[in-house]
Structure 1
Amino acid sequence: MTRIVLVTGGTSGIGRAVAARFAADDAEVFITGRHTNTVEAAAKALEVHGLVCDATRPDQVSSLSSQLGERLDVLVNAAGGLAEVDPTGPGSTAPDPLDTLAAEWQSSLAQNLLSAVLTTASVQAKLDRGGSILSIGSIGAERRGGAYGASKAALAAWNASLSAQVGPRGVTSNVISAGYIEGTNFFRGKMTDERHRALVQETHDKRPGTPDDIAETAYFLASPGARHITGQTIHVNGGAFTTR
Structure 2
Amino acid sequence: MARTVIVTGGGTGIGRAITAAFAESGDSVIITGRRREPIEAAAAEEGAGVRAAVCDGTDPEQVGAFADGLPERVDVLVNCAGGNTDYDREQARDLATLAANWRANMDANLVTAVLMTEAVRDRLTGGGSVISIGSIAADKGSGPYGVAKAALASWNVYESGRLGPRGVTANVVAPGYIDDTEFFRDGLSEERREQLIGMTRTGRAGTPDEVAATVHFLASGSARQITAQVLAVNGGAHPTR
Q: Following superposition of structure 1 onto structure 2, how do residues 11-90 of structure 1 map, counting pairs within 5 Å?
A: 11-47=11-47, 48-83=50-85, 86-87=89-90
Amino acid at match of 2:76: V
Q: Distance in 1 between matches of 2:70 and 2:201?
A: 42
Q: Distance in 2 between matches of 1:17 and 1:234?
A: 17
Structure 2 equivalent of residue 178 of structure 1: 175
TM-score (ref. length: structure 1) = 0.94
State percent identity of aligned pairs.
Answer: 50
Corresponding position of 2:235: 238
Structure 1 CA distance for aligned equivalents of residues 187 and 90 of structure 2: 18
Where does 1:77-226 land on structure 2 (aligned, <5 Å)? 77-83=79-85, 86-87=89-90, 97-226=94-223
* Structure 1 residues 88-109: Cα deviation after superposition (integer angstroms, max 9, x where no partner): 9xxxxxx851111111100000
Counterpart check, 1:6 vs 2:6: yes
**Residue type matched to 2:143 in 1?**
G
Distance 1:148 1:225, change over 3 A: same
1:175-222 Cα offsets, whole Å, 9 max, x none, are 001100110000001111101111111000111011001000001001
Cα deviations by residue, 1:150-179 (Å, 9 ceiling, x for unpaired):
000000000001001110111000000110
Amino acid in the other structure paired with 1:87 = E
- Residue identity opposite 1:212 in structure 2: D
Q: Gaps (5+ residues) in structure 1?
A: 89-94
- Per-residue CA deviations over 1:114-140 (Å, capped at 9, x if unaligned) read 000000000011111100000000000
TM-score, with length taken from structure 2: 0.95
Q: What secondary structure is seen at the aligned counterpart in 2 of 1:183? A: coil
TM-superposed CA distance for 1:39, in Å, is: 2.1
